[in-house]
Amino acid sequence: MLTTSYHTHNRYCDGEGEIAEYLEAALDAGLEAIGISSHSPLTFPNDFAMRAGDLPAYCAEVERLRKSYAGRLRVHLGMEFDFIPEYAAPMWEIVAPFRFEFMIGGVHFIGHDAAGAPWAFDFTRQRFEQGLREIFGGDTRALVSAYYERVRSLAEWGRVAILAHLDHIKTWNGDGRYFSEDEGWYRDEVEATLRACAQAGLIVEVNTSGWRGSSARPHPSPWIIRRCLDLEIPLVVTADAHQPEHIAAFYAEAEAMLREAGCSATAVLREEGWRMERF
Ligand SMILES: [Zn+2]
Ligand SMILES: [Zn+2]
8 A C-beta contact, residue 46 and residue 267: no
**pLDDT per position as a tens digit, 24-33:** 999 999 999 9
CATH 3.30.310.160 at 4-278, yes or no: no
- Ligand with minimal distance to 13 CA: 2
219 alpha carbon to ligand 1 midpoint, in Å?
11
Ligand 1 centroid to Cα of residue 240, in Å, is 7
The Cα 105–Cα 87 span in angstroms is 14
CA of 242 to the centre of ligand 2 (A): 8
In the prediction, which pLDDT does 215 show? 67
DSSP-assigned letter for residue 138: T
Q: Which residues of the chain have pLDDT under 50?
A: none
110-132 tens-digit pLDDT: 999 988 999 999 999 999 999 99
| 220 prior amide bond cis, ω within 30 | yes
| pLDDT recorded at residue 175 | 80
Q: Could you tell me which residues come within 8 angstroms of residue 239 by beta carbon, excluding any fewer than 6 positions away?
A: 5, 7, 8, 207, 208, 209, 246, 247, 248, 249, 250, 251
pLDDT in tens, 197-207: 999 999 999 99
For residue 36, how far is its CA from the centre of ligand 2 (angstroms)?
10
Query: 240 C-alpha to center of ligand 2: Å?
Result: 5
Near ion ligand 2, which residues have CB within 5 Å? 80, 240
pLDDT of residue 48: 96
Residue type, 165: H
Distance CA 76, CA 181 (A): 35
Tell me which ligand sits closest to the C-alpha of residue 79: 2
Tell me the C-alpha distance between 110 and 113, whole Å.
9
C-alpha 39 to ligand 1 mean position (Å): 8
Q: How far apart are CA 114 and CA 257, in angstroms?
A: 42
Residue 213 pLDDT: 75
- Residue 54 is given by DSSP the state G
Coil, helix or strand at residue 192 = helix
Cβ partners under 8 Å of residue 108, min gap 6 = 82, 120, 121, 122, 168
Q: What is the model's pTM?
A: 0.97
CB–CB of 254/206 below 8 Å? yes
At residue 174, the pLDDT reads: 84
Cα-Cα end-to-end distance for the chain = 5
